Amino acid sequence: MPQPVVELDRVGKTYYTGDVETPVLFDLSFSIVPGEFVAIVGGSGSGKTTLLNLMGLLDRPTAGVIRVEGREVSHLDELGRARMRRDRLGFIFQFHYLLPEFTVLENALMPCRMRGREFEKSREARMRELLTYVGLEEKLNVRPPQLSGGQQQRVAVVRSLANDPAVVFADEPTGNLDSKSGRMVFDLMKRLSRESGTAFIMVTHDDNFALEADRVIRIRDGRIQAPPGRHEGTELAVAAPEA
């Protein structure tokens, strides 16, 4: 069995405001392997985005251990966390966050620029290839305001793969798109995950998309909802969203 790219061991998260404690996540344990496409679903306030932020090293757990590619990352200092995000993780958000003053190609290469001009240059051919793959070969020198919403999000998907990450975290990546564009972006992510071997972890409200993932993790009130016969807080094999 391949080494998991992400592992959670009894992870919890509590926010503190003065003397007030607000527990959000409780005792979560599961792992995700290379090339797996996982959907995280749950109602508003269930803790799914907090969970994504913990796995993406955008926040810290208050209990338990998180490992990325076998490395314990829960207690890395800020510089170590920033390097891990830069080198091994990719991100896609509900809004594309493209920089309007840069071209499509320059936006796709932006994560590489953070590692230096030489690295950026070494990745340019791959980014051109991926942008062509997603149907944007004629838009490489166009700026984002000249693109449709679906095209902009396709650039964001390609950008998430710029540094050849082990795992991509996608927070409602289709939530700001019409149904046709959303379907195109979702299918693109699944295809890229399968072909590149990169794991994708997607938070979504769309049960139709969730059911097409390799695995669904349903969060309710900060806990994993296990299928019948399984205990809460354990890894799910397949758990279909509620009707």
Q: What is the pLDDT of residue 31?
A: 94
Q: What is the pLDDT of residue 115?
A: 85
Average pLDDT over residues 113-126: 88
Report pLDDT digits (tens) over 81-108: 999 998 899 998 877 889 999 999 999 9
Report pLDDT digits (tens) over 148-176: 988 998 899 899 988 889 999 998 888 87
Nearest-angstrom CA–CA distance, 161 and 127: 9
CATH for 6-224 is 3.40.50.300
Q: What is the pLDDT of residue 236?
A: 39
Report pLDDT digits (tens) over 8-54: 999 999 999 888 999 999 999 999 999 999 999 988 888 898 999 99
What is the pTM (predicted TM-score) of this model? 0.85
Q: Residue 238: which residues within 8 A CB-CB, separation 6 or more?
A: 215, 216, 227
Nearest-angstrom CA–CA distance, 97 and 193: 22
Backbone angles phi, psi at 209, to 5 degrees: -65, -40
How close are the terminal C-alpha atoms of the chain, in Å? 33
Query: Token digits for 215?
Result: 């695995």
Residue 99, judged by CB atoms within 10 A of its CB (0-12, 13-18, 19+), counts as: exposed
CA 87 to chain centre: 14
CA 236 to chain centre: 18
Report pLDDT digits (tens) over 42-83: 888 888 989 999 999 999 999 999 999 999 998 889 999 999
Q: What is the pLDDT of residue 1?
A: 67
- 3-state SS of 122-162 is HHHHHHHHHHHHCCCCCCCCCCHHHCCHHHHHHHHHHHHCC
Give me the chain's average pLDDT, please: 86
Q: What DSSP character marks residue 108?
A: H
Backbone angles phi, psi at 167, to 5 degrees: -150, 145
Q: Answer yes or no: is pLDDT of 226 > 80.
A: no
Which residue, among 26, 23, 22, 28, has the nearest Cα to 8 in the 3D structure? 28
